[in-house]
Amino acid sequence: MKITDVTVSLLPWGSVFVQVHTDEGVQGIGECSPMNGPVLAHFVETALKPLVLGEDPLDVDRLWRKMFFRTYKLGVMGVQPEAISGIDIALWDIRGKVTGLPIWKLLGGRYREKVLMYASIGGGARMSVEEMVQKVAQYQEKGFRAFKIRMDWRADRQDVDPEKDFRMFVAVRKFLGDAVPLSFDANNGYSVSTAISQGRRFEDYGIYHFEEPVPQYDYGGLAQVAEALDVPIAAGEHEYTRWQFRDLILQAKVDIVQPDVVKCAGISEMWRIGVLAETFHKHFVPHQTQPTIGTAANLHVVAALQHASRPQEFTGERPELNALFREPLRFEDGYLFVPDRPGLGLELDEEALRAVRVER
């Protein structure tokens, strides 16, 4: 079996879908981070595709190493691992389709048939307290029973308005009641001292996890926050590959690691990071913003890791994206069901994809 082509589709909503084609007609689908579609498409097509053409798609690990180490000097953060993610996920999909098995089965079996998802609600910096409470109410109506509010500050806007952030957290907590898991994401926007004082106040109101309290590259600062507070500290959406996660665990001392399958170099690397997290008894709660292929890939991995037992991130269903698949993921009562079909368990509707893909 040989890889005959790799194609990339950019969608109007920013999504980057990858298809790996073979000489036996089996096709795998994958997805890259949506941060910059044209750049990612160019990387996949010019740097990675020549490395995998003619290769056996079932040699997933060998091809991962070939892609990673042959393009290492093009950057091991950002575009390079994000582009590898698209192809690696598609190779796992092919492996599943060829064997007739879902990916969770290939990873060694699943510990759960459905996964409780938490609603990940962003935009806090731009919103009033009341607007955020309304948004949380809308997600609750969709069936969610665990929540996270994200401020979207970023590292270049430090300590802009922590008082408003605190009022927002308290208002959402009062709206949801004490029993509902509620996490808070500063999106890298606090200094260490603000993060610690803010975290102590959140703890008084019950906080499930405290995410990216300080700039993502400040491992020393993250460690100070993690050591000062009881609430689990989460980070990892800006980390790529097992080696960065090793440092995040050992140097930043986070309690929850959050790789993103469409960023960290695919299912292969996400699995290795999951095993690494278990080795250090860290919680495993991947970051994820892409609700179809990316979320399916993530679901297979978290279903097959026993310690991935906390609610997992979900930004909610997107009808315009679900319309591109014959049987989209099933979301009910706050749970996503882990697909039983071969591979990822998602089948693209080629005609629907052609109708929306952005011409390049």
Residue pair 344/90 in contact by the 8 Å Cβ criterion: no
Question: Binder to Ca ion among 82, 88, 185, 260 (CB under 5 A)?
Answer: 185
Residues 205 and 202: their CA atoms lie apart, in Å, by: 5
CA distances for 339 relative to 108, 232, 237, angstroms: 15, 30, 24
Which residue stretch of 15-23, 91-99, 178-186, 343-351 sits at the interface with Ca ion (rule: CB under 5 A)? 178-186
The nearer residue to Ca ion, 21 or 282, going by C-beta atoms, is 282
Residues 275 and 52: their CA atoms lie apart, in Å, by: 27
Please report the DSSP string for 178-247 in residue order: TTS-EEEE-TT---HHHHHHHHHHHHHH--S-EE--S-TT-HHHHHHHHHH-SSPEEE-TT--HHHHHHH
Which residue stretch of 182-190, 239-247, 248-256, 263-271 sits at the interface with Ca ion (rule: CB under 5 A)? 182-190
Shortest distance, position 152 Cβ to Ca ion, whole Å: 9
Residues 317 and 325: their CA atoms lie apart, in Å, by: 13
User: Which of 3, 123, 124, 112 has its CA nearest to residue 54?
Assistant: 3
Which residue stretch of 2-10, 60-68, 179-187, 192-200 sits at the interface with Ca ion (rule: CB under 5 A)? 179-187
Which residue stretch of 77-85, 93-101, 181-189, 243-251 sits at the interface with Ca ion (rule: CB under 5 A)? 181-189
Shortest distance, position 211 Cβ to Ca ion, whole Å: 5
Residue pair 185/151 in contact by the 8 Å Cβ criterion: yes
The nearer residue to Ca ion, 31 or 185, going by C-beta atoms, is 185
Burial of 197 (0-12, 13-18, 19+ CB in 10 A): middle
Shortest distance, position 95 Cβ to Ca ion, whole Å: 30
| Count of residues that bind Ca ion according to CB under 5 A | 1
Beta bridge partners of 31: 17
The nearer residue to Ca ion, 104 or 153, going by C-beta atoms, is 153
Which residue stretch of 53-61, 184-192, 238-246, 263-271 sits at the interface with Ca ion (rule: CB under 5 A)? 184-192
Is 260 a binding residue for Ca ion by CB under 5 A? The answer is no
The nearer residue to Ca ion, 35 or 348, going by C-beta atoms, is 35
Shortest distance, position 122 Cβ to Ca ion, whole Å: 8
Beta bridge partners of 17: 9, 31
The nearer residue to Ca ion, 15 or 258, going by C-beta atoms, is 258
The nearer residue to Ca ion, 91 or 117, going by C-beta atoms, is 117
Q: In the complex, which residue's CB is closest to Ca ion?
A: 185
The nearer residue to Ca ion, 66 or 157, going by C-beta atoms, is 157
Give, in degrees to the nearest 5, the angle at Cα 158 between 154 and 159: 120
Which residue ranges make up the site for Ca ion (CB under 5 A)?
185
